[in-house]
Structure 1
């Protein structure tokens, strides 16, 4: 398994717009082979931002790479960077190979 995360430092006055952008979008991930799950996360509040993260689980690193090169990926990210900036700087990507997965 592979986990792909993007961390976003969201401006405090833009939280509602940022959440709305994520929660109201069409989720194309469900159509992609190798997709396991997605979580939209809200983290701690800092002086100049609130931390958010997108957390996506994939069957393999190759499944994630295939997603990033797919038409659904291009469609999902077509409007990225347009409109009023909601974040402090660009998102930070982190990718992880899962070494152990414990489930009930």
Structure 2
């Protein structure tokens, strides 16, 4: 069985990086309660000085794409994202979702 990686890319407004990271560090995820959840990481990428943002990605690993889909349809997901709209000022645009099925893992 191959794993599934779900990523959301966020363009965080320059100067808002600490506040953005604090939101993620203090949130109640309830991911560990979900069947098929393997791990989660929040990744900080490069800063784009010209466009005024720092790139971040949320990165979760699941035992299957169906496990991830079940997460997105769960009460746990709704609870974890209930207050997401309160932090729109931290972002430049909407998050960009990317989903990947693992083909090779060493």
Report TM bin, short chain.
over 0.9
- Within 5 A, what are the aligned runs for 1:22-41? 22-41=24-43
Name the CA distance, whole Å, in 2 between partners of 1:90 and 1:29.
22
Unaligned runs of 5+ in 2: none
- Within 5 A, what are the aligned runs for 1:3-82? 3-47=5-49, 48-82=52-86
Name the CA distance, whole Å, in 1 between partners of 2:16 and 2:87.
12
Name the CA distance, whole Å, in 2 between partners of 1:84 and 1:65.
24
Unaligned runs of 5+ in 1: none
Name the CA distance, whole Å, in 1 between partners of 2:14 and 2:22.
14
Per-residue CA deviation, residues 20-42 of structure 1 (Å, 9 max, x unaligned), is 00011123100000001101100
TM (normalized to structure 1)?
0.94
Structure 1 stretches of 4+ with a deviation exceeding 3 A read none
Pairwise CA distance, 1:84: 5.3
Name the CA distance, whole Å, in 2 between partners of 1:60 and 1:74.
20
Tell me the secondary structure at the aligned position of residue 86 of structure 2.
coil
For 1:95, which of 91, 99, 106 is the aligned residue?
A: 99
